[in-house]
Amino acid sequence: MHLLIATSNPGKFREIREGLAPLGWTLFSLLDYPFKMPPEEGSTFEDNAVLKAAFAAKQSGLPTLADDSGLEVAALGGEPGVYSARYGNKKTDTERNVYLLERLKGVPPSERKARFVAVLVMAYPDGYMELYRGETEGEILEAPRGEWGFGYDPLFYLPEAGKTFAEMTLEEKAAYSHRGKALRQLLEAHKLGLARKEQPLQE
Ligand code: ITT
């Protein structure tokens, strides 16, 4: 099976590549298919993941996996949600983390609950789609911890692990993360033959 991973986020790409490794598929990235992705105008992770996967499958003629994900902070009414990648119009992960900490200034530790959500959509060039969703609950710290990962990882603390996502190896993060959970569902569905196994005829 040849599969295009339609993300321009290198952190996501690394995690998806590791997660799919047991399937032995040949993976391509947007570096192999450098078309411009459409704006993410949906109001849910599902809408945006479908939009990205369907568009890239059509453009490339390959089965395509897209990931739409984000952080939902309870004390902020679910912000940044689908706006996680452009929160506060900030350009870098570090600036977005600083902005999130400012928005949470004065909120005590007991009220800093948050969850990460990842929706993975696998779209085939003929329009067939599969959808997988994973969620992980944690807390937003008052200062960043850890050097690994990407995005909001240094602020996302997992009480059961006693670490932030940025203090975990790729393998460890995958065991707990929203993306790891969604990827394991995809793996199961394909291993059990509940999803398509073969590349369908191209248009
Ligand atoms: P693509 O659309 O090209 O895949 P993107 O980064 O724009 O890349 P999204 O629109 O799905 O992707 O935005 C997701 C944002 O949510 C991402 O940029 C991070 O800021 C955050 N995020 C998602 N998963 C994360 C994770 O595992 N760790 C830290 N931050 C994460």
Return the pLDDT at 70: 98
Return the pLDDT at 198: 57
Tell how far the Cα of 27 is from the centroid of ligand 1, in angstroms: 20
CB of residue 29 inside a 6 A radius of ligand 1: no
Asked if residue 114 lies in contact with residue 177, where contact means CB atoms within 8 angstroms, the answer is no
Q: Which of 32, 68, 93, 126 is catalytic?
A: 68
Q: How far is residue 176's CA from residue 189's CA, in Å, rounded to a whole number?
A: 19
Sign of CA dihedral 10, 12, 15, 20: negative
CA distances in angstroms from 159 to 125, 134, 153, 193, listed in the order given: 42, 18, 14, 36
Domain 2-191 has CATH 3.90.950.10: yes
Binding residue positions: 7-12, 68-69, 150-153, 173, 178-179
The verdict on whether 32 is a catalytic residue reads: no
| Domain map (residue ranges) of the chain | 2-191
Q: How far is residue 46's CA from residue 120's CA, in Å, rounded to a whole number?
A: 8
Q: Using pLDDT thresholds of 50, 70 and 90, give the confidence band for residue 143.
A: very high
Asked if the model's pLDDT at residue 200 lies above 90, the reply is no
Asked if the model's pLDDT at residue 202 lies above 60, the reply is no
